[in-house]
Every structure is written in structure tokens, then in C-alpha cells.
Amino acid sequence: MSLLSVKGLDVAFGGVPVLHGIDLDVEAGSLIAVVGANGAGKTTLLRAISRLAPARTGSISFDGHDIGHLPPYAVARRGLVHVPQGRQIVPGLSVEQNLLVGASNLEGMDSATLDDLLAAEYARFPVLAERRHIPGEALSGGEQQMLAVSRALMMRPRLLILDEPSLGLAPQIVRSIHGTLRQLTSEGMAVLLVEQVAFAALRISDRGYVIQNGRIAMSGAPDQLLQDPALVSHYLG
């Protein structure tokens, strides 16, 4: 059984259809890439999955349970955590305060567990440990993205969904973040990654979906997609 299963998902804004009959599955411990051109519907798909955008029809199930009726905070508490485009850290809070905000929505969190979670994130991204007391707004773009990922991981997700984490970042930072995502899946976490940098995302994924005009145009193994000339000429041009 898939950890996340999306079936027949339609989303509209102001009566204008945006997503049409989306089917998508994410297995535990897998990295799934969703790629496509600007305006294809990638961000709307993630927002619908995390319940930030209402679905018109279709179903969304997580760990075998329908979550289509839940508010976003309840979805996050179940272990489906969304890192939105633009990072959206709290600029005036310190790095450590931002991380603690990530864990604040979890029930039954004691100080020892918080300390363990902080230690894990500082080990994952040592630069955050070095800057733990400075405000988030003083970080570079790459450091802010690391902070956004770590803040989400403070919620102990089972499925991490990320919207364009490479946007505006230097290639070496992108490789570092993508490497972190691959490491997380080796530890059993599932990752759903939306990227416009299609080739980089597909190279680290277990399966890819290409979205065009709100529909899944292609899907399959990364090698299969990367060898298909239609991927570039029709869907990513």
C-alpha cells in the first residue's frame, strides 16, 4: 500500500480548473519527483495534498486514511510536512528559534526530545549550528533553505514534500540539499519533490511525474523519462 495515494484529483480556483484527474502514489522510503514547466500546476498539486488548497473532486489518502477533510495542521501532525516555495522562515527569529517553531505543533514533546531533534539537525547542517543564535534573515539563500528543511524535519515527518527547494541557489548548494533528501529516503522517509530543474530532480528520484497544463503527461522510471525526447521538446521546453 502506498504511503500517499492521490486519485482523480481536480482543483479549481475561482471556478477555473487548474488540476485535472491527477493520480500519484508515493511509497515509503522513496523519492518521487514532479517536474514540468512554470504554470503547469506543480505548486497547486502540493498545496492540495497538504490541504492548503481545496480539492474539487478526487481523493487524497495518507497511510491508508482519507485526509481530504482535514485542516493543514492536522495533516502535518500525521506526518505529512510541506516545505513551501520561498522557504518562509521567520526572519526575525534566530536559527534555533525557527527550528523550535517546527516542533511546536507536535503533541507531547519534552525537552529531551527537543534537544535530540536539534542535535540531529545541527549534525545534518553544521552551518546552522554555527549560526544558531543569529536571525534567519541574516542567512544566505542556501542557508535559509537548509533551515527550512531542518525546521520541517523537526516535525518528524514520514513524508516530506518540497516545492522548488533549488530555486535561486548555487549548484553546489542544490547538490547538497538533493543529497540530504536522498539520505532521508535511505533512512525510510518518503520525499515528494517538485522542481523546475527537471534533470537534476529526476536523477535523484525513484520515479518521476511530468505535469503539463494540470495533467500528468508522463510518468515512469527516471532513466525512461530522461531518455524520452518528448520530455524536453513538449513538456519542459
pLDDT digits (tens, 9 = 90+) for 118-132: 999 999 999 999 999
Q: Are residues 187 and 70 in the same domain?
A: yes
Domain limit, last residue, from 128, 156, 184: 156
Range of the domain at 180: 4-79+157-235
**In the prediction, which pLDDT does 205 show?**
97
190-221 burial by CB neighbour count: b if 16+ within 10 A, else e?
Answer: bbbbbbbbbebbbebbbbbbbbbebebebbee
Residues 183 and 227 both lie in one domain: yes
Q: What are phi and psi of 151, to 5 degrees?
A: -60, -40
Residue 85 lies in a domain: no
**Cα separation of 166 and 45, whole Å?**
18
Q: Is residue 14 part of a domain?
A: yes
- Res 214: pLDDT: 96
Look at residue 186 and tell me if it is in a domain.
yes
Q: Are residues 64 and 161 in the same domain?
A: yes
Same domain? For 166 and 129 the reply is: no
CA-atom Rg of the chain in angstroms: 17
Same domain, 123 and 162: no
Of 156, 176, 196, which closes a domain? 156
Residue 230 lies in a domain: yes
**What is the pTM assigned to this prediction?**
0.94
53 shares a domain with 163: yes
Quick one: pLDDT at residue 235? 59
Same domain flag for 231 and 162: yes
Residue 8 and residue 69 in one domain: yes
Total domains, the chain: 2
Per-residue pLDDT of the chain (237 residues; tens, 9 = 90+): 799 999 999 999 888 999 999 999 999 999 999 998 888 999 999 999 999 999 999 999 999 999 999 999 999 999 999 999 887 899 999 999 999 988 876 777 788 889 999 999 999 999 999 999 999 999 999 999 999 999 999 999 999 999 999 888 888 989 999 999 999 999 999 999 998 788 889 999 999 999 999 999 999 999 999 888 877 666 555
The model's pLDDT over 157-198, given as tens digits with 9 standing for 90+, comes to 999 999 999 888 888 989 999 999 999 999 999 999 998 788
